[in-house]
Amino acid sequence: MTKIASQQDDAGKSARPVPRTGVLEISPYVPGKSKAHGTGTLHKLSSNETPFGPSPKARAAYGALGGALELYPDGASTALREAIGAVHGIHPDRIVCGAGSDEILNLLCQTYLESGDEAIHTAHGFLVYKIATLAAGGRPVVVPERDLTADVDAILAAVTTRTRIVFLANPNNPTGTYLPFSEVRRLHEGLPGHVLLVLDAAYAEYVRRNDYESGMELAASAQNVVMTRTFSKIYGLASLRLGWCFGPEHIIDALNRVRGPFNVSGAAIAAGVEAVRDRGFVDAAVAHNSHWLERLTGALEGLGLGVTPSVGNFILVHFPDEEGRRAPDADVFLLSRNIVVRRMESYGLPAALRITVGSKAANEAVIAALGAFMGKAG
């Protein structure tokens, strides 16, 4: 005879479904705003999107998919893995594609964390690390940075017997800072073999530093390192949701068991193939970014603002602690001029704003607006 348990029958059980431990500790991710109050052209500089959109070839491939929406995509994203492999000189069998690198980060946590296991990220690391860790039942461990930059010694000091994952965004969002590869190697050498090092290289294409590496070679040779990449930033396909992970066979095999069988859409696969092949398009975007990164940094420093040296497509700008000149005041002022940037309270940086490098017009508008803002109160 089946007994239907009453609500009180089972001590510790609730009258309604309860999420797993950790889920209610998650602060939902707050995306950058996409609206302002002013009139005229809106400059959306709040989510590190490219001012150029995707390669025209990617756009065309996306459009062509409109005639075949009833067909399931290739669940293995074969054409895309082959295109990525050919461009980067890596084996397609060691790549797994996902619906944005967010999905990959979540898959890594789901695959490698038992309940209560620890995953380390740095104080101003990307917010998704914490969310993905908690969602998988893990415990996020936050490690201090030095000068808004990841600190290898602090990370190694935080490793315990429960540590399973170390997340490192290189370069990091929202700080724009990076670790030279000698430091990444030192981090890897200091980690026990069972700890997975996740090198999130979402902004790798933008970096022009001789001592920088995305992590491709380390992920090719080590048994406990993966590198994640995205099509959301320089490739301009954020709306399609597309990212990928490169790593050792045993990790790729595990991720392929856990991921949804059709986790990447046909449109994303088709557009991604063309986007990754269009190197001229990427080179032009990098040249534009390098030019404006320097110009914006110099101009804002000239206004008396602090700018953290960035190697990405965004800058972290620090405002004075003075009535009328604080970061929230600047945000309101920029919004009135139709410029949308990112508030940094959720990253624990309330005195800063993060500003994406935009089009020439957008960057000039930022420089003019912040000039007026800083002149206004002074």
Q: CB nearest ligand PLP: which residue?
A: 100
Quote the CA–CA distance of 118 and 131 in Å, as a whole number.
13
Please identify which residue in 102, 183, 278, 331 interacts with ligand PLP, judged by CB under 6 A. 102
Q: Which two tokens stand for residue 84?
A: 């990525």
Q: Which stretch binds ligand PLP (CB under 6 A): 64-72, 180-188, 230-238, 356-364?
A: 230-238
Among 240, 162, 173, 164, residue whose Cα is nearest residue 195: 164
DSSP annotation of 73 reads P
Please identify which residue in 77, 101, 310, 338 interacts with ligand PLP, judged by CB under 6 A. 101
Site membership for ligand PLP, residue 238 (CB under 6 A): yes
Pairing of strands 243-246, 225-230: antiparallel
**Nearer of residues 235 and 333 to ligand PLP, judged by Cβ:** 235
Q: Which stretch binds ligand PLP (CB under 6 A): 62-70, 94-102, 281-289, 352-360?
A: 94-102
299, 300, 302, 304: CA torsion to nearest 10? 170
Site membership for ligand PLP, residue 173 (CB under 6 A): yes
Q: Strands, E, within the chain: which ranges?
A: 43-44, 95-98, 118-122, 139-143, 163-169, 196-200, 225-230, 243-246, 306-308, 314-318, 339-340, 342-343, 352-356
Quote the CA–CA distance of 54 and 93 in Å, as a whole number.
26
Q: Which stretch binds ligand PLP (CB under 6 A): 177-185, 226-234, 333-341, 355-363?
A: 226-234
- Cα 62 to chain centroid distance, Å, stands at 23
Site membership for ligand PLP, residue 202 (CB under 6 A): yes
Instruction: Please say whether the beta carbons of 87 and 205 come within 8 A.
Output: no
Task: Report, in Å, the least distance between residue 95 CB and ligand PLP.
Answer: 15
Site membership for ligand PLP, residue 205 (CB under 6 A): no
Instruction: Count residues near ligand PLP (CB under 6 A).
Output: 14
Task: Report, in Å, the least distance between residue 367 CB and ligand PLP.
Answer: 24
**Nearer of residues 215 and 320 to ligand PLP, judged by Cβ:** 215
Instruction: Please say whether the beta carbons of 166 and 156 come within 8 A.
Output: no
**Nearer of residues 104 and 222 to ligand PLP, judged by Cβ:** 104
**Nearer of residues 232 and 263 to ligand PLP, judged by Cβ:** 232
Please identify which residue in 100, 138, 176, 358 interacts with ligand PLP, judged by CB under 6 A. 100
Site for ligand PLP, rule CB under 6 A: 48, 100-102, 126, 169, 173, 200, 202, 230, 232-233, 238, 243
